[in-house]
Amino acid sequence: MREMTVRGLILGALITVVFTASNVYLGLKIGLTVASSIPAAVISMSVLRALGGGTILENNLVQTQASAAGTLSCVFISFPCLVLIGYWQHFPYFQVMLLSLAGGMTGVLFTVPLRRAMVTHSSLPYPEGVAAAEILKAGSDSGSPESLQALMTGGLVSAVVTLATGGLRVLADGASATAVWGGAVFRASAGFSLALLGAGYLVGIAGGIAMLAGAVIAWGAAVPVLSLLLPNTAHLPAADYATQLWAQKVRFMGAGTIAVAAVWTLAALARPVAAGIRDMLRAGRSVGDGDRHRDLSPRTLALLTLLSLGVLFGLFAAFLLPGTADARGMLAAALAATLFCGLFGFLVAAACGYMAGIVGSSSSPLSGIAIIATVMIAAFLLGLERLGWMPAEFSAGGQRLAVAFALFVLSAIVASSAISNDNLQDLKTGQLVGASPWRQQAALLVGCVSGAVVIPPVLELLYQAYGFVGALPRPGMDPAHALAAPQPALLVTLVNGIFLHRLDWTMITLGATLGVVLIAADLLLRRRGAALPPLAVGIGLYLPPSVSVTLAIGAVIGWISTRGRPALRAETGIGTMLASGFIVGESLTGVLLAAVAGATGRDDTLSILPSHAGDVPKLLGFLVFVAICIWFGRSIRRE
C-alpha cells in the first residue's frame, strides 16, 4: 500500500496552511485552539478518493503532517509577548520561523525514544488517537461525503457572517449592557462570533458551563465588589471603569486560579509521567523488524537533535547580540538557554505525551505548561544573573533584556511541548492502522517545516490589521477590534512580575484560593457524574465576558441537541463538522480581512456602514446570530 507520496505531502502542506492560520487566529482571539486531526483526515480522504488510488496509510500521513503543523500554531502563546512588552514592533520572519521550526523539531525528536514505552507497550488509552484511527478505517471503505459537505457549509456560513461583521460592518460582532446599583457596577456582554459558537460545541457542556461560571464570578461578583471598595478617581464612565477593574485586578485573580488549576492537573499526572520515563529508560533503544517497528535511525536522530539545538543556540546568541557588548556573557547565556531547552524540553515531552495519552491533546493543559515553564526560565536566568554568569546589560533598563530573552526562550519550549503533546497521539493512530513509525516521524518533521513557514506572516497580518489588547501597531486604530491575546498577556504579567518584583499578590492569592475551592468542588461533582473543570473556570475569569458567554451558548446548544442521543456527538458527526467549519470559515476570513487591512493601512477599508446607523447593526447581528443558532441545533438533530 502506498504511504508516503508526493501528492500526500503537497495535500498535507495545503491543509496545513488552512488549519495553522485558523488556530493562530482563534488562539489570539479567545485563547483556545482546536485539534486539526479529524477535519484533516476527512478532507484528505475526500480529496484522495477524488484523485483515485488513495489508501488508509496515505491518508494517515496527510493527517499526521497537518496535525503537527496545526499544533505548532500554539506558539501564539509566546511570540506576541515580545510585541506586548514593546521589544518587537513586528514579527521578524526568520527569527519566528526558525525558532518555531527548531523548537518543533526537538518536540518530534524527543518523543521518538518514548514511542515504545508510551505507545507500543503502554496501556494509555489515547482517546483522540483511537478516534482518528477509527475514522481512517471507516473512510478507507465508504467515506463520509456528508461530513465534508457539513464542514464546507459551516465554513461558508461563518465566512459570510465574518465578512458582514469584520469587513462590511453591517452586523455588530457583539452587544453589552452596563448597570449601576448602589454604587456597584455590573456589566454583561455577549459576542456573535460563530467561531466561538463552534468552539463551545467542541469544548462540551462541562467546559462551557465552567467558563460561564468564571465570567459570572468576574463580572457578577468581583467587579461589582471592587467598584464599591475602590474609588473611581479618574471619573471614568461606568462601563470603562468596570473594564479597567477587570483588566487591572480581576485578571490577576484569574491568573492565580489558572496557575493552581494547571499545577493540580499536572500533579494528578505525576505518577503516570514518572512511570512512563521509567519504562522508557528500561526499554532502551527502539529496534525491530520491518517498517511497522522501525523508528528513525539513532544516527539520524542524533544528527537532527544536534542540528536543532545548534539552531537554537545561534538564535539565542543573535537575539542577545544587539543588546550586549559582553561577548563572553552573551555566549554563556545562549549556551545555558540551549541546555535548558534540551533538558527541560525532554521532560516536557514525556509529560505532554502522557497527558495526550490520558486525556487527548485537545484537553491537555498546554497553558499550564507555559506558565510553569515561564516561572522556571525566569528563576533560572535570575539565578545565573546572581552568580555573575549573565551579561551586565541583563539588569539594565528595568531588566528589559532579561524579560525579553526569557520570553524568547519560552517560545522554543512552547513549540517543543506543543508538538510533543500531539506526536505520540499521532503515532498511536499509526500503530492502529499499520503505519510505519519512521515515515510518520518524517511526516511530523515535514509538518513542523510547513507550520513554521506559515506562522510568521499570519502573526504579522493579524497584528497589523487588529493589534493586540494593550499593543496597537498604529495610532487611530479601534481598540474594540483588537485581539485579546489572553495567554500572552498573562505570561507578560507573570514574567514582568517575577523580574521586577511587582506582582499583585493580593489578587493572585485570592485567585489561588478560589482555585483550591474549585478543585475541591470538581472532585465532589465527579463523584456524582458531573464536572466543573477548575482550569476552565480560571480561563473564564481571565477572558473577556463576550468570549465566555458565547462559548457557553455553543456548549448548551450541543448539550440540548444531542441529549439522549450520544451518537450525534461522533467525531465525524454533522455537529462536529459544522462547528469545525464555523471555526475555519471565520478564522480564514479574519486572516483575509487582515491582509486587506495590512495592505491599505486601515481596518475599515470595506466598511459600508453609514454614520447614522445607531444600534441597527447590533439588532441585525443579534437576529442573525439567533437564527444561525436555531439552524445549527436543528441540523444536529436532523442527522
* Least reliable range by pLDDT among 209-213, 354-358, 484-488, 543-547: 354-358
Gap between the Cα atoms of 459 and 437, Å rounded = 32
Query: How far is 338 from 342, CA to CA, in rounded Å?
Result: 6
Spatial CA neighbour of 409 closest among 379, 445, 373: 373
Q: Within 10 Å of residue 246's Cβ, how many Cβ atoms?
A: 22
Alpha helices in 112-180 (DSSP H): 115, 127-141, 145-162
Segment 322-345 shows an average pLDDT of 85
Q: Are 11 and 63 in contact (CB under 8 A)?
A: no
**How does pLDDT run across 288-298, given as a tens digit for each residue?**
445 556 778 88
d(CA 232, CA 251): 18
Which is more confidently placed, 96 or 149? Answer: 96
Mean pLDDT over residues 374-382, rounded? 86
* Cell of residue 530, nine digits: 458531573
Phi, psi for 226 (deg, rounded to 5): -65, -35
At residue 360, the pLDDT reads 58
Residue of 186, 161, 211, 160 lying closest to 550 (CA atoms): 211
Task: From 14, 127, 134, select the one nearest 65 (Cα to Cα).
Answer: 14
Torsion sign across C-alpha atoms 144, 149, 152, 157: negative
Cα dihedral 287, 290, 292, 293 in deg (nearest 10): -10
Residue 505 contacts residue 522 (beta carbons within 8 Å): no
Locate 417 and state its grid cell: 511541548
Mean predicted confidence (pLDDT) in 613-635: 91
The radius of gyration computed from the CA coordinates of the chain, to the nearest angstrom, equals 24
d(CA 553, CA 579): 13
330: Cα separation from own chain's centroid: 32
Return the percentage of the chain with pLDDT > 90, whole number: 22
* Chain-centroid distance, C-alpha 392: 35
pLDDT digits (tens, 9 = 90+) for 234-270: 888 998 899 889 877 888 888 788 878 877 876 776 6
Residue/partner pairs of 380-386 with CB below 8 Å, 24 or more apart: 380/336, 380/340, 381/333, 381/405, 381/406, 382/498, 382/499, 384/332, 384/333, 384/336
Band of residue 72 on the pLDDT scale cut at 50, 70, 90: confident
pLDDT at 142 (0 to 100): 47
Given a cut of 60, whether residue 637 has pLDDT beyond it is yes
* pLDDT class of 361 with cuts at 50, 70, 90: low
- Asked if pLDDT for residue 322 goes beyond 60, the answer is yes
pLDDT digits (tens, 9 = 90+) for 250-259: 888 887 888 7
The pLDDT of 42-65, averaged and rounded, is 81
Specify whether the CB–CB gap between 549 and 190 falls below 8 A.
Answer: yes
Q: What is the mean pLDDT of residues 597-609?
A: 72
CB count within 10 Å of CB 319 equals: 23
Q: Is the pLDDT of residue 155 over 90?
A: no
State pLDDT tens for residues 415-474. 998 888 778 888 888 888 888 888 888 888 888 898 899 899 999 988 988 889 888 888
pLDDT at res. 123:
66
| pLDDT number for residue 163 | 92
Cell of 412: 522554543
Can you give the pLDDT at residue 284? Answer: 46
* Residue from 409, 369, 368 nearest 390 by CA: 409
* pLDDT greater than 60 at residue 280: no
Cut 0.85: pTM above it: no
CB environment 615-629: b (16+ within 10 A), e (fewer): eebbebbbebbeebb
* Lowest model confidence (mean pLDDT) among 119-133, 176-190, 461-475, 574-588: 119-133
Mean pLDDT of the 598-617 span: 74
Nearest CA-CA partner of 383 in 372, 396, 394, 370: 394
Average confidence (pLDDT) over 87-114 = 90
Residues forming a β-bridge with 174: 191
Cell of 28: 489570539
Q: Across the strands, what pairs with 179?
A: 186
Mean pLDDT rounded to a whole number for the chain: 82
Q: Is the pLDDT of residue 285 over 50?
A: no
User: What is the spatial distance between Cα 295 and Cα 36, in angstroms, rounded to a whole number?
Assistant: 24
The confidence band for 115, taking pLDDT boundaries of 50, 70 and 90, is confident
577 contacts 147 by C-beta, under 8 angstroms: yes
More confident residue, 106 or 22: 106
Between CA 215 and CA 6 the distance in angstroms is 48
pLDDT of residue 422: 79
pLDDT category at 595 given cuts 50, 70, 90 is low
pLDDT score, position 131: 65
Confidence tier at 122 by pLDDT (50, 70, 90):
low
Strand boundaries in 372-476, DSSP class E: none
Phi, psi for residue 188 in degrees, rounded to 5 = -125, 140
Residues in contact with 456: Cβ distance below 8 Å, sequence separation at least 6, in sequence order: 91, 92, 93, 96, 97, 100
First to last CA, the chain: 34
Nearest-angstrom CA–CA distance, 22 and 72: 12
Q: Grid coordinates representing 140? A: 478507507
